[in-house]
Amino acid sequence: MATDPTRQGDDVLLREAAEWFELVHRDDARTEDLARWQAWLSGSDERRHAFRSVEDLWHTAGQIPRSQPVSRRIPHPRWAAAVAVVTLLGMLWAWSQWGPFGSHDLSVVATRPGEHRELSLPDGSRLMVGGRSEIKVQYTPAARYLVIENGEAYFNVQHDPSRPFVVRAGSATITAVGTAFNVHNVQGRVVVTVVEGSVEVASVVPITMQGSATPRVEPVLPRPTRLKAGQEMVYGDRLAEVRLADVGEATSWQAGRLEYLREPLKYVVPDVQRYTTRQIVIADEEVGAMRYAGTVFEGEVDDWLKSLEHSFDIEVVYVNDQTVLLRHRQAGKGASGQ
């Protein structure tokens, strides 16, 4: 059987990435080692993707406990480092052959604007998917892995300590055992709300450097964080924030309502966008910064848009049948709705 040269090239990159991963996470990593790694990493997008694949696989497979830093898990002695590389290369070979968990079975759940879908997963866990969402699901005997590409989903997870239940959303993974939690991922901003049990959230963004003389750039989540029922985490471009959650507000979408408590319109509008075929455009930053408190009922988005003119200095302009513009109302100009 002929060997695919593209596949061979991918395998070489994965092996190189595994060796760099082991080197830069040693306790005794030198500045020159980190500089050489950074030079290798910046050589191509393919190298960066390979390194990220190595880190994702290492974290997800549970080789590094999320309760402690990576560098303290891989010891200094060369024999231990060699074992770590051999183990990781074996995992990478399986990954390159069969995917992250040794299976070609990958399901994609995609919903239309305003559509909700409830599913029973292979292990008996339940998944509720919100409007305009895309979820990827991959199960094997070893692990349960899901990715929220965009949108919102509620998970009710069956307890199975031998098979990690890992959800990736944005730049972090959410790991649960027997838990109920909600994940909202819209335009790069992720909100994880725990309803029952607990989850652990950990960054999957590679640690990078801007130069050999500069310190490492910390990921968006500087350390793994355990969230308990009644807590939520918000993360995105900035460092994560942990806060008390209004569970009813976070899960109200399942009952056909979107509830907000003084949320900036720049976050509200993209969320409401998932429940209408109209394109809602915020014309300026001032409108995006206005904070909204209230309820948007699915199927009544047009009524909600009209109500904005009475609550804020906002002019709602219907550009055409499919596009609505929200812009700051000029002084002295009354609400027109048109």
How many whole angstroms separate alpha carbon 272 and alpha carbon 253? Answer: 10
Q: Residue 324 contacts by C-beta under 8 Å, 6 or more apart in sequence?
A: 278, 279, 280, 281, 305, 316, 317, 318
Q: Is 80's pLDDT higher than 80?
A: no
Other beta carbons within 10 angstroms of residue 181's beta carbon come to 27
Share of the chain above pLDDT 70, in %: 72
Q: Is 74's pLDDT higher than 60?
A: no
pTM of the model: 0.66
Determine the topology of domain 256-328 in CATH.
Phage tail protein beta-alpha-beta fold (3.55.50)
What is the model's pLDDT at position 200?
92
User: 273 pLDDT band (50/70/90 cuts)?
Assistant: very high
Mean pLDDT score, 287-303: 93
User: 105 pLDDT band (50/70/90 cuts)?
Assistant: low
**Domain positions in the chain:** 5-98, 107-248, 256-328
Mean pLDDT score, 297-324: 91
Q: Name the least confident of 109-113, 118-122, 209-213, 220-224.
A: 209-213
What is the model's pLDDT at position 51?
79
Other beta carbons within 10 angstroms of residue 258's beta carbon come to 23
Same-fold call for 107-248 versus 256-328:
no
3-state helix, strand, coil in the chain (%, to 5): 30, 30, 35
What is the model's pLDDT at position 220?
66
**HEC profile for 220-243?**
CCCCCEEEECCEEEEECCCCCEEE
Mean pLDDT score, 130-137: 94
Q: Which among 256, 273, 201, 281 is positioned nearest to 233, based on CA atoms?
A: 201
User: 58 pLDDT band (50/70/90 cuts)?
Assistant: low
The pair of structure tokens assigned to 174 is 């959410």
Q: Does domain 107-248 have CATH number 2.30.30.240?
A: no
What is the model's pLDDT at position 246?
92
Q: Is 4's pLDDT higher than 70?
A: no
